[in-house]
Amino acid sequence: MRFASENDLRALGDQIFWNELIFLCAGAAVLALLAGAGLLLFRKVWVRPSPVRGVAARVGLAGLSLGLSLLLLDAGFYALFVESDGQVATLAGKRWFAEHWHPLNERGYRDAPLARLEGHRIVAVLGDSFAAGHGVDDVRERFSNRLEARLGGEWAVATLAQPGWDTRRQLAALRRFSHTPEVVVLSYLPNDVEQVAREHGFPFRLKQGDASPPWPLVTRHSYLWNYVALRLMRQRSSPQEVRAFVDYLHAAFSHPEIAADHRRDLERLAALTRERGAELLVLLWPMHHPESSQPLTGQVARWMEGQGARVLDLALHFDGREARELAASPMDAHPSAEVHAEVAELLAASLCTLLAERDRAPAPGCEAAQGL
């Protein structure tokens, strides 16, 4: 999900609000009609007392009370609950974007205006949703923002990232970037190979049964039921889907033509970085489980080290840690704010070491990082 401006975010938030309000009003109207029909039935039609009439009246009253309680629960859930969703399928996940995907600059990136880069030494971070900070409520807790704070006032870090971007789009973003970075950080995930694989007629296809949620009309409009139904579906399908996708990535990297084309894309990015006089630092994120990603990130590490890049393989760093420990939420496998903080420290140390080796002296802002 991408947004061109703050107006798009406000429109999304308004859409979810009105969706919830219409659902609550419609539900209240249905309950009112049922209550009216019940009163008419028991006062005008079924007036003779009997045990059956008494039971029917109590059941009807209980049903109306349950319906009203569910509407109030839905309204309370809307008022109190927002959570990021990696697939942006739930209403709570879409609302997370509306409330947290700020700021947006003139290029549509989740970052401050580019004018702030003037007069600073620049680090440009290229990436997809991981670099953009999907799952991180406060953009100041994202690893690129933490890196800027860590390096100090002489440096500025520009985040050139959008959800769903692959290597080719990142390369295009670097070409469009009008400033001169001193360091380019490529935030890489093994799924960046997917676009190349599709071009070779090898898309990811997940075999699954009926994926429709129960009561689809209610699922589309009820904030609470939408979350419950989709989370239950995700829990049932997620393990096999993750395994299938990781197997697909391994197959794509093992395909000689796909791997060669993907490697050429990465080499073009490294060449452009050299042309602009910048150092290249590659941040390799694992997919889901770190140990299953190591063969893939290791392959990319060898490619990029051959291009003279400094590589930080997070699949090795996070080895042995459970995926749920690293995730932003139960519905979102993107890294949490705590993981971003950890990565920012690792990245600061690696970047400062790179600059110190190049300049034979600590770079400004790197004195503390050198001691990490």
Statement to judge: residues 64 and 112 lie in one domain: no
Supply the range of the domain harboring residue 71.
6-80
pLDDT of residue 202: 95
Q: Angle 292-298-301 (CA atoms, 0-180°, nearest 5)?
A: 145
Report the half-sphere exposure of 371 (CA within 13 A, side-chain side): 4
In this structure, what CATH number is given to the domain that contains residue 270? 3.40.50.1110
- What mean pLDDT, rounded, does the chain reach? 92
Q: Is residue 289 part of a domain?
A: yes
Res 309 pLDDT > 80:
yes
Q: Is residue 226 part of a domain?
A: no
Range name among 67-81, 144-158, 196-210, 324-338 with the lowest pLDDT average: 196-210
Statement to judge: residues 62 and 128 lie in one domain: no
The band of 207, judged by pLDDT with boundaries at 50, 70 and 90, is low
* Last residue within a domain, chosen from 80, 97, 119: 80
Closest CA to 313 of 323, 302, 324, 322: 302
The band of 107, judged by pLDDT with boundaries at 50, 70 and 90, is very high
Range name among 40-44, 98-102, 167-171, 266-270 with the lowest pLDDT average: 40-44
Q: Is residue 188 part of a domain?
A: yes
Q: If you write DSSP's letter for every residue of 202-219 in order, what string do you get?
A: -------S--PPSSHHHH
CB atoms within 10 A of CB 362: 15
Statement to judge: residues 126 and 194 lie in one domain: yes
Statement to judge: residues 32 and 148 lie in one domain: no
Say what percent of the chain tops pLDDT 90. 78
pTM summary value: 0.92
Q: Is residue 10 part of a domain?
A: yes
For residue 364, the Cα-to-chain-centroid distance in whole angstroms is 33
CA dihedral (273, 274, 276, 281) in degrees, to 10, reads: 40
Statement to judge: residues 74 and 116 lie in one domain: no
Statement to judge: residues 118 and 176 lie in one domain: yes
Statement to judge: residues 201 and 274 lie in one domain: yes
Q: Is residue 231 part of a domain?
A: no
CA–CA dist 123, 101 (Å, integer): 22
Per-residue pLDDT, averaged over 188-217, amounts to 86
Of the two residues 364 and 165, the one the predictor is more confident about is 165
329 by DSSP, 3-state: which?
strand
Closest CA to 334 of 367, 369, 370, 288: 288
The number of folded domains in the chain is 2
pLDDT of residue 368: 56
For residue 53, the Cα-to-chain-centroid distance in whole angstroms is 55
Res 210 pLDDT > 60:
no
Residue positions counted in the chain: 372
The band of 100, judged by pLDDT with boundaries at 50, 70 and 90, is very high
